[in-house]
């Protein structure tokens, strides 16, 4: 089950965290994985990890907010692979602040990566999927469903991701293109460790425990746990699922009363 043998996948932001876990898992299931990441070194490292276990992967430096760059890269992948079967829009950036603490530069940066970046990949990939169908997975957040303090711009972008998911699913269902999104709560990634170290020096363990306990299950997710859901939704076993947002949140949305 859940074989991706013979499929070509694009994973943005695949050089670390959730994207890394998705790229590694997809490759282990037989997909040829193209990792697009602004961090070229991170992408190369994940490619090497995949190739060590005889997987197929390529790393490409990419600024997802640059439409021409995205179009060129996707076109090159399609020329070589003939088809693109899976797209995972995972690349994203974060910002801490309410509306007063969010300046125009902050707002524009988050919009360009988290919203325009998703749009750019959809715009480039969908025309190439229309003949043979495909699976698209966008990474949203619990911040698109509930109010989280000091996440004004980030919540805005993730709400837009859910909206783009629903529109894409509706517009291309007749082309056998499925589009879903997932909404993780806190996931233990290098980003989280860096955020805690920067903002709470000397209190890292205390803050890690506090952030972990904001989820009813009592801990953060592992990137691999997010990847398993991504695999299901991008596999043929999920062929009847489209236009859905899946919380993967340790009970955060429904049980945090």
Residues in the chain: 257
Within 8 A by CB and 6+ apart from 154, the residues are 94, 95, 110, 114, 141, 143
Q: Which residue of the set 154, 172, 200, 246 is catalytic?
A: 154
Is 154 part of the annotated catalytic residue set?
A: yes
Which residues form the catalytic set? 154
């Amino acid at each position: 089950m859940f074989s991706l043998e013979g499929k070509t996948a694009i994973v943005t932001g695949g050089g670390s965290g959730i994207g890394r876990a998705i790229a590694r898992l997809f490759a282990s299931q037989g997909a040829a994985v193209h990792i697009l990441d602004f961090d070229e070194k991170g992408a190369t490292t994940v490619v090497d990890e995949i190739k060590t276990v005889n997987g197929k992967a390529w790393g490409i430096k990419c600024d997802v907010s640059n439409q021409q760059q995205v179009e060129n890269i996707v076109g090159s992948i399609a020329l070589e692979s003939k088809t693109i079967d899976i797209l995972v829009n995972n690349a994203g950036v974060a910002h801490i602040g309410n509306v007063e603490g969010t300046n125009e530069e902050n707002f524009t940066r988050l919009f360009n990566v988290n919203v325009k970046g998703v749009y750019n990949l959809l715009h480039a990939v969908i025309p190439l999927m229309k003949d043979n169908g495909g699976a698209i997975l966008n990474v949203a957040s619990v911040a698109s469903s509930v109010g989280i303090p000091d996440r004004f711009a980030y919540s805005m972008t993730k709400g837009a991701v859910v909206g783009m998911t629903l529109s894409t699913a509706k517009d291309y269902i007749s082309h056998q293109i499925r589009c879903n999104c997932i909404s993780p709560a806190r996931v233990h990634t290098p980003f989280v460790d860096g955020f805690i170290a920067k903002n709470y020096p000397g209190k890292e363990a205390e803050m890690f425990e506090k952030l972990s306990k904001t989820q009813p299950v009592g801990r953060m997710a592992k990137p691999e746990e997010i990847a398993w859901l991504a695999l299901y939704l991008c596999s043929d076993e999920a062929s009847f699922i489209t236009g859905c947002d899946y919380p993967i949140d340790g009970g955060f949305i429904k049980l945090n009363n």
